[in-house]
Amino acid sequence: MSVVSVKERTEGQRSWKTTEGREHRRVFVVILNDVTDGAQTARLAAGVPDIGDAHPGDATAKAYRVDPQGTASSLAWYVYVDYRRPTHKTKAEDPLDDPVQIEWGFRTVSAVLEKDRNGNGILNSAGEPFDPPLEDDVHILTLTVTRNEPTFSANTANNYVNTVNSGTVTLCGLQVTARQAKLSGCSAQSAERNGVNYCIVRYQLEFKVATWDRDVLDQGIREWIDAGDHSKGLKQIKGPDGEYVMKPVKLNGNGRASAATADATYLTFECNTLKDFSTLNLNI
């Protein structure tokens, strides 16, 4: 025994609303190749929705009845699938239908100020960094998303925590470009309700207006010399007095010492692993 075909038909489809909620009906025609096959074969045919499946046009409505009805040919069956989305939620419902909790906030940290608002290095009049450096409070936008999920993968969490987004992505309505968002934490707690085992999963994200890249002042006590002869290589820098410098001096971005009053050069480093955050399905 086998199923020859399963096709959905528009004739007989319905969608209505009552005081108890929204309901829908889909109709499938199942063709069998053996008259001894019956309603159960038609109901279990691949392509026919099962109890609990979501309606394609109303994801919150779930199938609650699958009703095969035979025809005169004995080989053709009409399978009526009814969906329902209650208007009023109760604790007795599927916990996976609970609303997602979204919380925005800020985290304040003390950070060394390396550049001013125009991107210029914060240096003294001789072109050197201040010692001790200037510090200020930095406010980092935070997002916490808590939702119920069927399962929790500790390996997935371990691979994503402390990573940044590899490309443009929308997270709870906020669109960010590459490397602006970091997954700073991901945790889960097992739970059970109404006979359903599930996990309460919490995602914690942080955002920077620029990126999570690190800008570091290009400086050192050695410079790269390439004179095309035997002097090629790293050489210790000499100061204006002809003596070797004992503390880092500014470099020009190409491995050479800069003049004391020259603009500071910063090197940018991508320190965090890149991940595709769209797979987290947090555009809620």
Cα-Cα-Cα-Cα dihedral sign, residues 56, 57, 58, 62: negative
- Joined tokens for residue 279: 């797979």
Domain boundary among 62, 86, 110: 86
Mean pLDDT of the chain: 88
- Give the pLDDT confidence of 162-199 residue by residue, as tens digits: 999 999 999 999 999 999 999 999 999 999 988 889 99
Q: Specify whether 15 is located in the same domain as 110.
A: no
Note whether 50 and 63 are within 8 A (CB): yes
- Give the pLDDT confidence of 197-227 residue by residue, as tens digits: 999 999 999 999 989 998 888 888 888 887 6
Q: Specify whether 125 is located in the same domain as 58.
A: no
Number of domains in the chain: 3
Q: Specify whether 29 is located in the same domain as 122.
A: no
What is residue 102's predicted lDDT score, i.e. its pLDDT? 97
Does some domain include residue 91? no
Residue-range definition of the domain harbouring residue 39: 3-86
Does some domain include residue 13? yes
Q: Are strands 196-207 and 249-250 parallel, antiparallel or unpaired?
A: unpaired
Q: Specify whether 169 is located in the same domain as 255.
A: no
What is residue 87's predicted lDDT score, i.e. its pLDDT? 66
Residues 6+ apart with CB under 8 A from 237: 220, 221, 222, 223, 244, 245, 249, 257
Does some domain include residue 75? yes
Q: Specify whether 185 is located in the same domain as 131.
A: yes
The secondary element (H helix, E strand) that includes residue 110 is: strand 101-112
- Give the pLDDT confidence of 57-98 residue by residue, as tens digits: 888 889 999 999 988 788 999 999 999 987 655 555 789 889
Does some domain include residue 18? yes
Domain boundary among 39, 64, 86: 86
Domain boundary among 86, 118, 139: 86
Indicate the pLDDT class of residue 239, thresholds 50, 70 and 90. confident
Residue 141 CB burial class (10 angstroms; 0-12, 13-18, ≥19): middle
